[in-house]
């Protein structure tokens, strides 16, 4: 399956991501080893469900599951076509194999027929392994991708790799980009990862390659969850993070007197305690009390509340991360997850790292890699495949930890 080269192992990996409300499939040509690896994106497709979930004010698991089942075959076809691996050729699938595939896909009504119709019309692609997100995430959504990957692995006789979604975020943030090619090399260990998303806020230390220990985590709400809840309080549409950032940025760029400071004051929870843990429930509650005390806020005041909330979040994230840098002796800091796309948080970390930790490498992913994408799953899958960590069965785990 693997082909050794002068520069390491060569693997072509097809990856599948369905942990939340994005359906994604990517195909990467991966070459190298754990010291230096290059990833060429051959095909990369992603369908977002944001517009569908807006009316619910958040992701509705049953709806996410349905949309994944509907979208996987079309985006697989698109990814294979982009990678020039889609070759039409009628295939005879034995009845025994059809029965096994039907059993694997039994959870997903309608997907079996779509799947069998597509794979019956094209030859197996020249890939070496299939990587799929096993967790964390919404379990109904995870199961769709897992079962789809299992059916492909059975039919195409390819090994399966189970990937931790947060490891994908962490490792892909280390990648340096040149067009469709990503490179991970000369990584200075230990690597401290700040992983921030709608479901996670944690600090994880990778002291040795692919070996993780938990340094700090939220004790209540994840930071992305806090953004969405505060946005809802302010009457802003879902997803709330970009909307709060839009209002906050309008204050910073307004040029009005006091635009560099906040009209309102919100707490910075757990800022000065002696742990690397976070808490955002108190900050969210403080916004609620502020709004109750000021029931007739105007748009100008709403902008300033968003501004102060985002400032408070960035302050807490930075102070806790700085403490973790000191405690772990990290040589590299990675920021990953959906909230890492936040422009203000990126600015705060870039400025403070240059000023206070200029000897530590800072790695923040491109905007495309902050979403729940399949490219990061292929990258993580490659490193696990190098270690021959193939599986014959996978179970979805909505709370799958990266570090224990």
Pairing verdict, β 22-32 and 36-48: antiparallel
Nearest to 335, CA basis, from 154, 136, 200: 200
What pLDDT is stored for residue 239 in this prediction?
87
What average pLDDT does this structure show over 141-160? Answer: 97
Give the C-alpha distances (Å, rounded to integers) separating 228 from 79, 208, 223, 239, 240.
32, 35, 9, 6, 4
Over residues 299-310, the pLDDT tens digits come to 999 999 999 999
310 φ, ψ (degrees, to nearest 5): -65, -40
What's the rounded Cα separation, in Å, for the pair 254 and 363? 30
What's residue 346's pLDDT? Answer: 97
**Predicted confidence (pLDDT) at residue 404 exceeds the cutoff of 80:** no
- By the 8 A CB rule, do 26 and 43 touch? yes
Say yes or no to pLDDT of 169 above 70: yes
Q: Specify the DSSP element, H or E, that contains 184.
A: strand 181-185
Q: Note the pTM of the prediction, 2 decimals.
A: 0.94
pLDDT at 178: 81
pLDDT band, residue 4 (cuts 50/70/90) = very low
E strand or H helix at 350: helix 343-356
Tokens read off for 357: 């930790």
The residue whose two tokens read 């509650």 is 285
User: Taking each helix axis from N to C terminus, what angle separates 61-82 and 111-119, rounded to the nearest 10 degrees?
Assistant: 10
How far, in Å, CA of 280 to CA of 230, rounded? 11
pLDDT more than 70, % of the chain: 96
Q: Region 105-124: what's the mean pLDDT?
A: 93
The more confident residue out of 328 and 237 is: 328
CA distance 162 to 393: 9
Report, as an integer, the average pLDDT of 214-220.
97
Structural contact between residues 306 and 248, judged by C-beta atoms closer than 8 angstroms: yes
Predicted pLDDT at 6: 45
According to CATH, where is 3.30.420.40 located in the chain?
3-170+370-386, 188-364
Q: How far apart (Å, rounded) are the C-alpha atoms in residues 212 and 385?
A: 18
Q: Give the span between the Cα atoms of 186 and 287, in whole angstroms.
A: 44
Q: Which tokens hold the place of 26?
A: 């990517």
Rg of the chain, C-alpha, whole Å? 22
Span 203-208, average pLDDT: 97
| Mean pLDDT value across residues 267-274 | 93
Task: Please state, in angstroms and rounded to a whole number, the distance separating the CA atoms of residues 228 and 244.
Answer: 9
Higher-confidence position of 352 and 404: 352
CATH of 188-364, one of 1.10.150.130, 3.30.360.10, 3.30.420.40, 1.20.1300.10: 3.30.420.40
Mean pLDDT of 310-320: 97
Tens digit of each residue's pLDDT (9 = 90 or more) over 381-400: 999 999 999 999 999 999 99
State the chain's mean pLDDT as an integer.
93
Tell me the pLDDT band of 140, cut-offs 50, 70 and 90: very high
- What tens digit of pLDDT does each residue of 318-362 get? 999 999 999 999 999 999 999 999 999 999 999 999 999 999 999
pLDDT(55) > 60: yes
Does pLDDT of 145 surpass 70? yes
Second CATH level (architecture) for the domain 3-170+370-386? 2-Layer Sandwich (3.30)
Alpha helices in 83-129 (DSSP H): 95-104, 111-119
pLDDT score of 350: 98
Residue 220 near residue 279 (C-beta atoms within 8 A):
yes
- Among 21-35, 45-59, 156-170, the range scoring the smallest mean pLDDT is 45-59
Burial 330-358 (b: 16+ CB within 10 A, else e): bebbbbbbbbbbbebbbebbeebbeeebe
For residue 304, give Cα distances in angstroms to 147, 163, 311: 46, 41, 10
Specify whether the CB–CB gap between 278 and 201 falls below 8 A. Answer: yes
pLDDT (mean) for 150-158: 97
With beta carbons less than 8 A apart as the criterion, state whether 40 and 29 touch: yes
Confidence check: pLDDT of 248 > 90: yes
């Amino acid at each position: 399956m693997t082909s050794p080269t002068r520069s390491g192992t060569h693997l072509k990996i097809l990856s599948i991501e369905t942990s939340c409300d994005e359906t994604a499939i990517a195909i990467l040509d991966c070459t190298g080893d754990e010291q230096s690896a290059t990833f060429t994106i051959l095909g990369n497709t992603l369908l977002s469900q944001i517009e569908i979930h807006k009316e619910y004010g958040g992701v509705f698991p049953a709806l996410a599951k349905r949309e994944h089942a509907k979208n996987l075959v079309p985006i697989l076809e698109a990814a294979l076509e982009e990678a020039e691996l889609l070759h039409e050729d009628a295939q005879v699938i034995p009845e025994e194999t059809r029965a096994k595939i039907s059993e694997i896909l039994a959870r997903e009504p309608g997907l079996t027929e779509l799947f069998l119709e597509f794979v019956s019309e094209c030859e197996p692609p020249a890939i070496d392994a299939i990587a799929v997100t096993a967790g964390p995430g919404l379990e109904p959504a995870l199961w769709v991708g897992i079962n789809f990957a299992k059916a492909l692995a059975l039919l195409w006789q390819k090994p399966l790799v189970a990937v931790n979604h947060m490891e994908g975020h962490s490792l892909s943030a280390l990648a340096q980009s040149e067009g469709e090619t990503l490179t991970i090399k000369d990584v200075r260990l230990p690597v401290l990862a700040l992983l921030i998303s709608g479901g996670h806020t944690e600090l994880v230390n990778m002291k040795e390659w692919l070996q993780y220990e938990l340094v700090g985590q939220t004790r209540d709400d994840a930071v992305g969850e806090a953004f969405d809840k505060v946005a809802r309080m302010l009457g802003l549409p879902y997803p709330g993070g970009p909307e709060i950032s839009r209002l906050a940025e309008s204050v910073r760029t307004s040029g009005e007197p006091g635009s560099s400071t906040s009209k309102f004051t919100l707490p910075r929870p757990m800022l000065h305690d002696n742990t690397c843990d976070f808490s955002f429930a108190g900050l969210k509650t403080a916004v609620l009390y502020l709004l109750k005390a000021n029931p007739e806020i105007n748009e100008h005041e709403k902008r300033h509340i968003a501004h102060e909330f985002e400032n408070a979040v960035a302050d807490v994230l930075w102070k806790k991360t700085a403490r973790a840098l000191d405690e772990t002796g990290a040589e590299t800091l990675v920021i990953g997850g959906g909230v890492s796309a936040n422009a203000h948080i990126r600015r705060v970390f870039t400025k403070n790292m240059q000023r206070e930790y200029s000897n530590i490498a800072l790695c923040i992913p491109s905007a495309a890699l902050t979403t729940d994408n399949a490219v990061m799953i292929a990258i993580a899958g490659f490193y696990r495949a190098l270690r021959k960590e193939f599986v014959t069965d996978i179970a979805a785990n909505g709370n799958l930890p990266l570090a224990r």
